[in-house]
Amino acid sequence: MTIERTPPKKKARQLAKYLRHERPDYVYLKKLFDYLRNELEVSVPRKSPQLPPVPKEEEIQRFYDVVWKSKRFQDLVIIKIFLYTGVRVSELVNIRLNDVDFEACQIRINLGKGNKDRVVPFPPSFKEVLALHHQAMCEKKAVCLFESSWKRKYSVRGIRKMMRRYADAAGRNKPISPHQLRHFFFLWIKKQGIDDALIQPYSGHASRQSLEIYSRLTIAEAQEEYNNVIGRFPV
């Protein structure tokens, strides 16, 4: 059944006849149409969130090669954690030494986005490299996994600056951000055929209400799938 609607311009003139004598202003009209929208149960369409431009696999490889050749071990560990776990930069700078579980190959993220705690897996092949850095920080009596020589945890700004430097050296005219590495990782994981329901427990994303299975999944299930594919990661 086709609904015949009065053209918007004509309908505006009809409404104006009822409202003109009240001399409505902008604030009044805005509130009026808010209530009208609610009365008619009209939902406001929302734009779908868009991902930032995600680097291609060959760009990630060039970027990583520059980091590797720099021989700055701590920078290498930071980039690997971004690439292997998909953590946010604000979460990485707050990782403490006792948050790393080498036996389970997991890192605990405390008070991530939405003030939620979670754990993220890392590949067993990364354990030795991470352990070397972890031991060095323990010997310095650090608290956080990444601290400066002044025993101050790394700043978000400092890590972004470091990544811009490597992106420039890799010949990119645009920086590579921690968030782009996060999205590269999760897009890569999806391309390996891992279902969203298995990614969600360690991604830090809010559960979709339509997928109740999210609430029933455990990190153990997610990590089993993670371990099955991470060996194919490009770097």
Residue 75 within a domain: yes
Residue 46 within a domain: no
Spatial neighbors of 74 by CB under 8 A, at least 6 apart, are: 133, 146
| Residues of the domain holding 195 | 57-232
35 & 131 share domain: no
170 & 94 share domain: yes
Spatial neighbors of 21 by CB under 8 A, at least 6 apart, are: none
Q: Which residues of the chain have pLDDT under 70?
A: 1, 47-52, 112-115, 195-222
3-state helix, strand, coil in the chain (%, to 5): 60, 5, 35
134 & 22 share domain: no
Name the nearest CA neighbour of 63 among 168, 179, 170, 185. 170
Sole residue written with tokens 């779908």: 48
Residue 35 within a domain: yes
CA distance 28 to 33: 9
Tokens, residue 135: 């031991």
61 & 29 share domain: no
CA distance 229 to 192: 7
68 & 95 share domain: yes
Q: Tell how strand 106-109 and strand 100-101 pair up.
A: antiparallel
144 & 210 share domain: yes
Q: Which helix (H) or strand (E) holds 106?
A: strand 106-109
> Which burial class, exposed, middle or buried, applies to 55 when counting CB atoms under 10 A from its CB (0-12, 13-18, 19+)?
buried
How many domains is the chain partitioned into structurally?
Answer: 2
98 & 192 share domain: yes
121 & 197 share domain: yes
